[in-house]
Amino acid sequence: MDMEKNTILIADDSQAHLALLLSILGDDYDIVTARRGREAVEKAKEFLPDLILLEDALPEMDGYEAAGILKSMEDTCETPIIFIMGQSNAASERKVLSLGAADTIFKPFDPVIVKLRVENQIKMQNQLRFIKTLSTTDQLTVMPNRRSFDTRIGMEWNRARRDMTQCSILLVDVDNFKIYNDSYGHLNGDTALKVTADIIKDTIKRPGDYAARWGGEEFIILLPATDIDGAMSIAEKIRTSLESTVISILDYLETKITVSIGVNTQIPAQGCSIERFIDEADKALYIAKRTGRNKVCSFVDVKKDERLIG
């Protein structure tokens, strides 16, 4: 099976130059083209290419202005740009480097040089993406890790505050996990955690929902634009799915695990922080565990009876 190709955006106002670059690079990469600077910016936002080849003298908006916009946008600020230039001179090269360009290629095109310079940038981009994936992914469960979740919740929290929409969070904790580990060994404990992660991933369906391993036997789930009833429903689905799942270990033994889940829902407002939002979900989780485990508890329920928090 063919590996997925990297995508390159080529912006040049000459159809002949685009055709030549397509003939040089088209077999190895998926190519998106643009003939004007503004079009290049719009297509970069739409296709999120791995590399951009940008002519300096584009019509409507030249390559320098387009590069400045691309470097200022969150989705494209780290995308490498190779400038396509008509001639080599120190002033122009200083200008493109000051804009954060990764490299330059000059007309008339030398196919070997074009291929090598593009290949070098694509290799670096793929390596950086791989390193970033490793640093933000929990290797056992192949879920985002706590660092990745911290970044995501910051973005969603700001969006919910701007739009004045509800945001929900679930803290999921495997019940009596230390006893399970001590009874069946750490490798089988890892299996139980992977089963938990798989059920969580299978339960949250919307593109904006986000689950991560929070640490140890805890998982955290972010549900943007979700009210308390919707969050409680998803939490209950996770709980019942795990309760009914049989985990086969040691080639002959069947086991089960349960989880306790704390739920919190907020419309972010002045004086309300992410830390408090998570802490209140943690309080709900504590009550779920203290009052019997294998249950879902919301911070709304906890607030109704302040004695539970104390």
Structure tokens at 21: 């670059």
Based on the domain organization, do 204 and 304 belong to the same domain? Answer: yes
pLDDT at 85: 92
What's the half-sphere exposure (Cβ side, CA atoms, 13 Å) at 62? 8
Give the closest residue to 218 by CA, choosing from 193, 251, 190: 193
| Domain count across the chain | 2
Based on the domain organization, do 299 and 158 belong to the same domain? Answer: yes
Based on the domain organization, do 110 and 252 belong to the same domain? Answer: no
Where do the H-state alpha helices sit in the chain?
15-25, 37-47, 63-72, 90-98, 111-136, 146-163, 177-184, 186-203, 228-243, 274-290, 299-304, 306-309
Residues 6+ apart with CB under 8 A from 212: 138, 143, 144, 145, 146, 148, 149, 152, 219, 220, 221
**Of 120, 136, 152, the domain-final residue:** 136
pLDDT of residue 97 exceeding 50, the answer is yes
Specify the CATH number for the domain of residue 304. 3.30.70.270
**Cα separation values, 177 from 55, 186, 235, 254, 267, Å:** 58, 10, 19, 16, 33
The answer to whether residue 155 sits within a structural domain is yes
Residue 3: pLDDT band (50, 70, 90) is low
Residue 18: pLDDT band (50, 70, 90) is very high
Based on the domain organization, do 131 and 144 belong to the same domain? Answer: no
Give the closest residue to 195 by CA, choosing from 282, 263, 256: 256
Based on the domain organization, do 212 and 246 belong to the same domain? Answer: yes
Based on the domain organization, do 114 and 179 belong to the same domain? Answer: no
Task: Mark whether 217 is an active-site residue.
Answer: yes
Predicted structure pTM score: 0.71
- Report pLDDT digits (tens) over 294-305: 999 999 877 766
C-alpha torsion sign, points 198, 203, 209, 213: negative
Based on the domain organization, do 167 and 300 belong to the same domain? Answer: yes
**Cα separation values, 149 from 137, 213, 237, Å:** 10, 9, 22
Based on the domain organization, do 255 and 116 belong to the same domain? Answer: no
pLDDT of residue 21 exceeding 80, the answer is yes
- Report pLDDT digits (tens) over 154-199: 999 999 999 999 999 999 999 999 999 999 999 999 999 999 999 9
The whole domain housing 36 covers 7-136
Block residue for tokens 């080529």: 10
Based on the domain organization, do 182 and 244 belong to the same domain? Answer: yes
Per the DSSP assignment, residues forming a β-bridge with 221 are 170, 211
User: Quick one: residue 60, left, alpha or beta (phi over 0 = left, psi -120 to 50 = alpha)?
Assistant: left
Residue 1: pLDDT band (50, 70, 90) is very low
Residue 33: pLDDT band (50, 70, 90) is very high
- Report pLDDT digits (tens) over 49-86: 999 999 999 999 999 999 999 999 988 999 999 999 98
Based on the domain organization, do 128 and 209 belong to the same domain? Answer: no
**Of 81, 102, 136, the domain-final residue:** 136
Say how many Å lie between the first and final Cα of the chain, rounded: 59
Based on the domain organization, do 121 and 172 belong to the same domain? Answer: no
Among candidate residues 217, 236, 280, 306, the one labeled active-site is 217
- What percent of the chain has pLDDT above 70? 96
